[in-house]
Amino acid sequence: MTKTNRLAHAARRGNLHPSWPAGLLVGWLLWGLAGAMLAAAPKAAPGPGIQAPPAGDILKTLRREHPRLILLPADLERIRQYAEGNADARKYLATVRETGERMLGQPPVERVLIGPRLLDKSRQVVNRMHTLGLLYRLDGERKWLDRAVRELRAVAAFTDWNPSHFLDVAEMTHAFAIAYDWFYPGLAEADRALVKQALVDRGLREAEKIYRRNGSWVVSAFNWNNVCNGGILSGALAVADEEPELAGYLAAAAVRSLPKALASYAPDGAWAEGPGYWGYATRYTVVALASLQSALGTDFGLGDLPGMAEAGVFRIYGAGPAGQFFNFADAGENSGAEPSLFWLARRYQNPAYAAAARRAAGARPSALDLAYFDPQGGSADLQRLPLDRHFRAADIVFFRSDWLTKEAFYAGFKAGDNKANHSNLDLGTFILDAQGERWAIELGADDYNLPGYFGKQRWNYYRLRTEGQNCLLLDGGNQDPKAAASIVAFHGGAARAFAVADLTAGYAPAGAVRVWRGLAALDQHRRLLVQDEIATQKPVAVEWGMHTRATVEVQGRRAILTQRGRRLRAEILAPPEALFTCAPVTPPPPQKPAPGVSKLLVRLPEKTAQTRLAILLSPEPEPAAAGPVALQPLGEWK
């Protein structure tokens, strides 16, 4: 965002610095008026339109023989060659074999719901079909097929695949699609018929009902769209030669629906639901694109939509140096493997994606890590990426000191939109890693089966409320659930990097006139300054908070945090009357407990209508060149 646009944005929101001269105020208000006029103008559609062929034509280029989904025979040969000549691929194959051997002794899943969901069972079956199917295709051993058939017979006998929670159906459909396609030559005729009938009746026919009524996930912009379309599309293509009318209808409907969700990656690949749901959505986006390409020879331009080529960049930045996500929204903290990065690396010829995929897989690669494996890329490709990045698609900023060490400085800072799917009321939250430890943590999601978790009680739960984030609290209340915030200034650089977010709309319930938060990475990304500027219509109680697993020793205007022998000093630079306190985090049952977590707090002693808070977080020992920090108004950060 240019400086002119940032000022216009601030003027439109009424968020003008109280010290700005009157002449500048007039000028900026005029810029704001111009910006408002531009904002009112019609906006272009996000990216090129996708023209799906009609249902009767979309299957004209169908590959008739099996297997036709995702991995063609040439892909199997590629995997074999990598496993012979590449140490990582050889290790992946050994790990996948060990996983498959364990599966041989495990019983098939049973139809047992957790809350309203069968989803954990669907995911188990997906994982088993990927693993057993890949091993069977690589070595042809009968034991993999026999174990898969036991699973398929059991799941085909379920009364249904829980269509009331359609993710369950979509993932199970994908599992059966992979099984039908990858095991096809070895399946007995009766088992082949059983698998196909279950796939059609419990998966595809249920999806047809939802497409025909234009149901919620068909028009959604978030992960349900990617997952449901990807799962159903793979199922339709698996049986397209035998059920051409049904498969043609479903394939055309999926290709028409997917751009609604893929537009959420634009312009730079970020995902507003958080990094965990980026992974979930992207895995099934890859299923959709790879299945279309392998079965029909084209993805109809879906993979070329804006943001798709950049999607892997967000996953790379979203994981910290010790493998922990900036887990905003309903996201878990541990990042884990991400096989989609391998596929994206090959599709978009981006070696940094493959390098990041190998780092993410670590010692626990999955079958898809082997299936999508790409040997390109290395540390040098990661080091070419900027250390600091602002993602406009979700208004998230990342800072880091380097790409290669687990002890690197790493901070994530969120503006974003409280209306985004899976959002918490977390505008302005941040995390901090340094010295191999996470000092400022996000608690992440609670139990999805809590009463009203996705309904009227959502904002009553600690982990989702504003007080459960590393955010300001004004008069102890939540941010506006309908509010959005934006990054109004950003600068990346080795000596000093910063971002400023306009959070005013989030604090409208407290009468906010202007609430800005700035984060600055100082001294070659060694110290973090968190600075807030608050102006309200009437005096309010102001509280600053940061969640941590560290042991905290409060020393008035300083606090010392300790973890595994490492230390971080927190220091209040402003206002002069502020002091630290610390309190344990104890969400009441039935919410999940937070053992070992406390909240470092600054509560101003008196209500105020205008103040500036500045907190400096410094790992000890401090860098030799570190000196006192001269505070400047956020509007003057340059």
Q: What is the mean pLDDT of residues 618-638?
A: 85
> How is residue 387 written in tokens?
């250390």
Residue with tokens 């007039």: 26
Global pTM value: 0.90
Q: Is the pLDDT of residue 566 over 80?
A: yes
**What confidence tier does 468 reach under pLDDT thresholds 50, 70, 90?**
very high
Judge if 311 and 195 occupy the same domain: yes
Last residue of one domain, picked from the residues 336, 362, 383: 383
Q: Does residue 212 sit within a domain? A: yes
The mean pLDDT value of the chain amounts to: 92
Judge if 213 and 166 occupy the same domain: yes
**431 with 440: CB under 8 angstroms?**
yes
Q: Does residue 556 sit within a domain? A: yes
Q: In the 8-state DSSP scheme, what is residue 636?
A: G
Per cent of the chain over pLDDT 70 is 92
Query: How high is the pLDDT of residue 14?
Result: 34
Q: Does residue 343 sit within a domain? A: yes
Q: What is the mean pLDDT of residues 287-298?
A: 98
Neighbours of 157 (CB within 10 A): 11
Query: How high is the pLDDT of residue 627?
Result: 79
Query: How high is the pLDDT of residue 244?
Result: 98
Q: Does residue 636 sit within a domain? A: no
pLDDT digits (tens, 9 = 90+) for 430-455: 999 999 999 999 999 999 999 999 99
Judge if 330 and 285 occupy the same domain: yes
More confident residue, 518 or 46: 518
Judge if 369 and 395 occupy the same domain: no
Could you give phi then psi for residue 35, rounded to 5 degrees? -65, -40
Query: How high is the pLDDT of residue 49?
Result: 66
- Tell which residue, 445, 276, 595, 333, has the closest CA to residue 453: 445
**321 with 405: CB under 8 angstroms?**
yes
Q: Report helix, strand or coil for 269.
A: coil
DSSP β-bridge partners for residue 437? 434
Q: In the 8-state DSSP scheme, what is residue 59?
A: T
Q: Provide the number of structural domains found in the chain.
A: 3
Judge if 279 and 424 occupy the same domain: no
- Tell which residue, 346, 343, 369, 371, has the closest CA to residue 358: 369
Q: Report helix, strand or coil for 311.
A: helix
Judge if 597 and 494 occupy the same domain: yes
Q: What is the mean pLDDT of residues 109-114?
A: 97
Q: In the 8-state DSSP scheme, what is residue 576?
A: T
Last residue of one domain, picked from the residues 383, 416, 431: 383
**What confidence tier does 549 reach under pLDDT thresholds 50, 70, 90?**
very high
- Tell which residue, 392, 393, 444, 390, has the closest CA to residue 412: 390
Judge if 367 and 407 occupy the same domain: no
> How is residue 120 written in tokens?
């954990």
Query: How high is the pLDDT of residue 43?
Result: 28
More confident residue, 41 or 190: 190
Q: Does residue 52 sit within a domain? A: no
Q: Is the pLDDT of residue 20 over 60?
A: no
CATH number of residue 149's parent domain: 1.50.10.100
> How is residue 442 written in tokens?
């996000």
Query: How high is the pLDDT of residue 3?
Result: 39
| One-letter identity of residue 546 | M
Judge if 358 and 391 occupy the same domain: no
Q: Is the pLDDT of residue 361 over 80?
A: yes
**151 with 128: CB under 8 angstroms?**
yes
**What confidence tier does 34 reach under pLDDT thresholds 50, 70, 90?**
very low
Polymer length in residues for the chain: 638
Q: Does residue 51 sit within a domain? A: no
Query: How high is the pLDDT of residue 624?
Result: 57
Query: How high is the pLDDT of residue 92?
Result: 98
Q: Is the pLDDT of residue 41 over 50?
A: no
DSSP β-bridge partners for residue 582? 600
Q: Does residue 632 sit within a domain? A: no
Q: Is the pLDDT of residue 495 over 90?
A: no
Judge if 379 and 399 occupy the same domain: no
CATH number of residue 468's parent domain: 2.70.98.70
Query: How high is the pLDDT of residue 625?
Result: 61
Tell me how far apart the alpha carbons of residues 510 and 483 are, in angstroms, rounded to a whole number.
Answer: 13
Judge if 29 and 82 occupy the same domain: no
- Tell which residue, 266, 306, 302, has the closest CA to residue 284: 302
pLDDT digits (tens, 9 = 90+) for 587-612: 999 999 999 999 999 999 999 999 99
Judge if 423 and 370 occupy the same domain: no
pLDDT digits (tens, 9 = 90+) for 139-166: 999 999 999 999 999 999 999 999 999 9
Judge if 379 and 393 occupy the same domain: no
Q: Does residue 242 sit within a domain? A: yes
pLDDT digits (tens, 9 = 90+) for 173-183: 999 999 999 99
Domain that holds residue 572: 387-624
**614 with 633: CB under 8 angstroms?**
no
